Chain A
Amino acid sequence: MPLIRKSPSETAPTRAPEVPTLIAALENGSQQERWAAARGLAKVPGAVAALGKALGREADERVRLAIFTSLATISSAASLDAILPYLRSDDASLRTGALDALRLMPGIVPGRLESLLCDPDPDVRLLACDLARDLSSQEASILLSSLIEVDPSVNVCAAAVDVLAEIGAPDTLPSLVRCAARFADRPFLGFAVKVASERIGSRFPARHG
């Protein structure tokens, strides 16, 4: 039979390097060493600063992903603070990487969402709307209906309407109508509000059918 079986002893055991070694590799190692170092620091809360700093200079997308995963795995207020600045990055892959990492932190992000939805940068508010998908219907409805009442950006409001269409509660319907009225000259938003209202209504037919 051409099938062979090797005994486990033929595979070399791996020994985890010390934290200072990993941090040094994250700063100065080859691509593979930086990847391994980033992954190795996933269980080291004290490495958040080093991981956040490395993210700023790291050019390799694969290593960036590993850093984001490790920061998300640490999942602390500090690791959240290390990720958030990259929501403002001009580099689309960093922005997306940050957003994906934040999605992995459902225990930490909701507490910070309210301030993100008030951020002066409309791109950050827009991405924050997407993070609200992971909240309960009630929490998302309160936050996003407040946002669509006042947010000056039609694109941010459209992102919020999109999320409400999926998980919004019936009591968001008046806010949706007022949002469409605020942007009456932007027909796409009116259409999005109509679709969202119909979808919310279809989920709660007894109350709004």
Chain B
Amino acid sequence: MVFGESKRYYVDRRVTDRIAATGAQSFASYFARLRSDLNGEIEQFINAFTVNETYFYREEHQLRCLSSDLLAQRTARVDRTRTIRIWSIPCSTGEEPYSIAIWLLENWPQVDAYDIEIVGSDIDTQVLEAARSGIYGRRALMRLAPALIQKYFEPLDEDRWRVIEDLRQSVRFSPVNVVEASETRAYGQFDVIFCRNVLIYFDDASRRIAAENLFENLLPGGFICLGHTESMSRISPLFEVCRYADAIVYRRAREDADGKSVG
């Protein structure tokens, strides 16, 4: 993660918050606590710096691309007994993986013909807890039609809704550090990876390592979707650019038995 001068206020605020939260008397005292990872402070520190604000159906055009183009390509070459795997990384508080699930249930005509596994992962363990609980405020649901809210959420009070049990039980949430190959490999390979708005926070070297990790996590011919301001072409030449009506995405080339790209 890299924070330039323009992010000084952001960094100051979060460090100040952690100093207050731990009851440290000074920065030096807090820093010693951080270095010794007292009471798991490193994880808390990371959690404080990860960006978690998102909402349902964010960058909806990519979801349209998923159901209209990407899955058509993925299913054209597989038998119906194979599970279609989709990874949302980082998944933050769960809006993205739940959005993918709702979108597919509502918009992909073949949704009942395949088993679909959706996994949400994040380095921030607190947001994963929030994702599992599936409770959201009005702002997170602002892009969803009332009918969808009624169908997939249950109201808790005037301003909070909870994802219905069936849907919560359909998405797996688990921690991962995208720059650690030993962690990402354990997730196996996916048909589609959503990795939006996280690589921009990495330095160049970490970004390239993350790209190589994600490449390994894609099945040959599988797709990766980045945030609309991000470009994989500037990070790594491993992926092919695919331009569809609704989005530009990146693909791991199809391969022959020896692992050679076959386009």
Residues of A participating in the B interface, judged by any CB pair closer than 8 Å: 1-8, 11-14, 16, 30-32, 35, 39-40, 42, 60-62, 65-66, 69, 72-73, 75, 103-106
Known: A61-B237, A62-B238. 8 other contacts (CB 8 A): A2-B115, A2-B116, A5-B172, A16-B182, A35-B259, A60-B260, A65-B238, A75-B205
The CA-CA distance from A5 to B101 in the complex, in Å, is 12
Most buried by A among B113, B212, B236: B212
Is the Cβ of B105 less than 8 Å from the Cβ of A1? yes
The CA-CA distance from A93 to B167 in the complex, in Å, is 47
Which listed residue, A6, A31, A61, A73, touches B117 by the CB 8 Å rule? A6
- In chain B, what residue has the closest Cβ to A16? B182
The CA-CA distance from A47 to B2 in the complex, in Å, is 28
Q: Which residues of chain A are near B104, meaning CB under 8 Å?
A: 3
- Given A11-B188, A14-B186, A62-B238, the answer on whether A2 and B112 have CB atoms closer than 8 Å is yes
Which listed residue, B172, B216, B237, B258, touches A6 by the CB 8 Å rule? B172
How far does the Cβ of B212 sit from chain A's closest Cβ, in whole Å?
6
- Given A69-B208, A75-B205, the answer on whether A2 and B181 have CB atoms closer than 8 Å is no
The CA-CA distance from A69 to B216 in the complex, in Å, is 14
Q: Which 4 A-B pairs have the closest CB atoms?
A: A3-B170, A104-B205, A31-B259, A32-B259
Q: Which residues of chain B are near A104, meaning CB under 8 Å?
A: 204-205, 208
The CA-CA distance from A16 to B112 in the complex, in Å, is 39
The CA-CA distance from A175 to B212 in the complex, in Å, is 42
Is the Cβ of B83 less than 8 Å from the Cβ of A4? yes
* B interface residue count range (under 10 / 10 to 19 / 20 to 34 / 35 or more): 35 or more
Q: Chain B, 113-127, contact with A by CB distance < 8 Å: what is the 0/1 string?
A: 111111000000000
Q: Chain B, 154-169, contact with A by CB distance < 8 Å: what is the 0/1 string?
A: 0000000000001101
How far does the Cβ of B134 sit from chain A's closest Cβ, in whole Å?
14
Is the Cβ of A13 less than 8 Å from the Cβ of B186? yes
How far does the Cβ of A187 sit from chain B's closest Cβ, in whole Å?
32
- In chain B, what residue has the closest Cβ to A10? B188
- Given A11-B188, A39-B181, the answer on whether A3 and B116 have CB atoms closer than 8 Å is yes
Q: Which residues of chain A are near B83, meaning CB under 8 Å?
A: 4
Is the Cβ of B209 less than 8 Å from the Cβ of A73? yes
Which listed residue, B111, B259, B261, touches A2 by the CB 8 Å rule? B111
Q: Would you call B71 an interface residue if the criterion is a C-beta within 8 Å of the partner chain's C-beta atoms? A: no
- Given A4-B117, A11-B188, the answer on whether A30 and B212 have CB atoms closer than 8 Å is no
How far does the Cβ of A71 sit from chain B's closest Cβ, in whole Å?
11
Q: Chain B, 91-106, contact with A by CB distance < 8 Å: what is the 0/1 string?
A: 0000000000100110
The CA-CA distance from A75 to B208 in the complex, in Å, is 14
- Given A2-B115, A32-B259, A103-B204, the answer on whether A69 and B209 have CB atoms closer than 8 Å is yes
Is the Cβ of B167 less than 8 Å from the Cβ of A1? yes
Most buried by B among A3, A7, A16: A3
Which listed residue, B118, B182, B212, B237, touches A14 by the CB 8 Å rule? B182
How far does the Cβ of A14 sit from chain B's closest Cβ, in whole Å?
5
Q: List 12 A-B contacts (CB under 8 A).
A: A3-B117, A3-B118, A5-B172, A6-B117, A11-B188, A31-B260, A39-B216, A62-B261, A65-B212, A69-B205, A72-B208, A103-B204
